Amino acid sequence: MYPLEIAKVSAALGGARALGGEPNSIGELADAIAHGLPRAVVPELAAQAAPDRGDLRRKVAALIVSPATYKRNRLLSPAASERAERLARITALAQQALGDADEAREWLTTPRALLSYRTPIETAATDLGARLVERILHNIEYSLPV
């Protein structure tokens, strides 16, 4: 299930500073998600997943939680926390597969024909879409046909 180190997913969420501690196992990350991640992970993840251009980071943040809910609550709901973790996992996998954080940001925010001209980060907002994007990234990482 986790081809990535928990530390890479944690880093995409903003690390110990944003999370309030460093999860060392899937169980610890699952517990943090169930209790609700701190809202500080939203801008951190948006910065990891999208280039600082236009309103791309705002769009990524909105995939996790609505702006009104973000302003109102200190903690994300468990559902929003799951979305944040899913997008962090995709972001970390893109960085690993492409070998460069800037290249990963560009790849994640560029519409792809294989994804019906949606961006990978938008597609990954759902569980089914995330599985598709993960498969594409694994194929890229191992030089397999996409």
Provide DSSP, the chain. Answer: ---S-HHHHHHHTTHHHHHTS---SHHHHHHHHHH--BTTHHHHHHHHHS-SSTTHHHHHHHHHS-HHHHHH-SB--HHHHHHHHHHHHHHHHHHHHHS-HHHHHHHHTS-BGGGTTB-HHHHTTSHHHHHHHHHHHHHHHTT---
pLDDT of residue 4: 79
What is the model's pTM?
0.95
- What percentage of residues in the chain have a pLDDT greater than 90? 95
The average pLDDT across 87-115 equals 97
Domain ranges of the chain: 6-141
Rounded to whole angstroms, how far apart are CA atoms 27 and 2?
Answer: 12
Does the pLDDT at position 1 exceed 90?
A: no
Q: At 40, is the pLDDT very low, low, confident or very high (cuts 50, 70, 90)?
A: very high
pLDDT tens-digit readout, 102-137? 999 999 999 999 999 999 999 999 999 999 999 999
Does the pLDDT at position 72 exceed 50?
A: yes
